[in-house]
Structure 1
Amino acid sequence: MSYVNYQKAVEIMSKNKEKCHFIGERSEELIEKAEDALGIKFSRIYKEFLIKYGAGNYGAEEILGVIDDDFEESSVPDGIWYTLTEREEVDLPMNLVVIYETGGDELFCLDFNNLNEEKEPVVVAYIPGEDNKNQKYEKIADDFGDFLLQLVNIE
């Protein structure tokens, strides 16, 4: 159901364009540079989101993604920069890509070591500063499509 839920979220967003504040379309070439920088191949749903929206907000909900190819000197909502920074500063595991800040102690990440039946990464909670051996990786959503639909419905 994940891709179906992604499509539902996109449909809701397209009907509420006044709530959409996204960077906009990103090129395949830029997405490939982001994948190379992270050492990860994005899944179908997240890649489609990045190509269509890049990164930004739906209402108050900010979704991290790709802005440009400067992954060293950037800021939120650049998820590539954020992920690389967290890898350096708090030893974020290489299999995680940060997609959402909760505003609290957790980061929501795509876990590329934990794929669902559609080969989409599960969205998990990661707590910066907690030893990686003690991380619980609470499951937040079955994949990015389900997560996006949750955010859109909250808004």
Structure 2
Amino acid sequence: MIESIELVRNLYPDEVYISGGVDQSAIDMAQNYLNCVFPQRYSEFLNDYGSFSFFGFEILGILGTNFESSVITDSIRTTIYYRRKGLLEDNLIAIYDDNGDVLHILQAGDSEDSGVFVWDLSSRSIVRTFSTSFVEYTNDRIETAIQNLSQDLS
């Protein structure tokens, strides 16, 4: 469990969307489909939450195992989409798409955690490190979303 997600889930239940955790077989299917291994912390997120959205911040996850024809965008569909267009390397996993110029990505690999990086679609390269860990990224983005929500409510 990620504490910041649990916090906003309890404090702002009407502003939080969690699709629901997925089982290990769905995670295994997604990894096989993408031909990569997810970092452990991201796999735990998928198992606990599936996908997550809170006041403009989202983490793409897994929304089912029909990866080719899903009508709802998730991490697997987004990753495959950009790979097929030649805009994303095979060792990268998209977890956020700003629908424009950049993705937030994880590096695939059998590790406990991965930093989160900003991937520029036009240059096809990492342009900066967003955070050194997936959990830190989630906490920082939720903190920003809470600040934005507080400003909107005032």
* Coarse TM-score class (shorter-chain normalised): 0.7 to 0.9
Q: What residue is the counterpart of 2:138 in the other structure? A: 148
Structure 1 unmatched runs, 5+: 1-5
Identity %: 24
Shift in alpha-carbon separation, 1:27–1:136, aligned structure 2, 3 A: closer
User: Does 2:112 align with 1:122?
Assistant: no
Taking the TM superposition and a 5 Å limit, the aligned residue runs for 1:1-155 are: 7-16=2-11, 17-112=13-108, 119-130=112-123, 132=124, 135-155=125-145
Shift in alpha-carbon separation, 1:91–1:102, aligned structure 2, 3 A: closer
Structure 2 unmatched runs, 5+: 146-154
Q: What residue is the counterpart of 1:3 in the other structure? A: none
Q: Which secondary structure does the structure 2 equivalent of 1:90 belong to? A: coil
Could you tell me whether the CA contact under 8 Å between 1:62 and 1:77 is conserved in 2?
A: no
Normalising by structure 1, report the TM-score.
Answer: 0.82
Q: How far off is 1:104 after superposition?
A: 4.1
CA RMSD of aligned residues (A): 2.1
Larger RCO of the pair (alpha carbons < 8 Å, separation 6+)? 1
Could you tell me whether the CA contact under 8 Å between 2:61 and 2:75 is conserved in 1?
A: yes
Could you tell me whether the CA contact under 8 Å between 1:34 and 1:80 is conserved in 2?
A: yes
Q: What residue is the counterpart of 2:150 in the other structure? A: none
**Count of paired positions:** 144
Normalising by structure 2, report the TM-score.
Answer: 0.82
1:30 is aligned with what amino acid?
A: A
Shift in alpha-carbon separation, 1:46–1:136, aligned structure 2, 3 A: closer
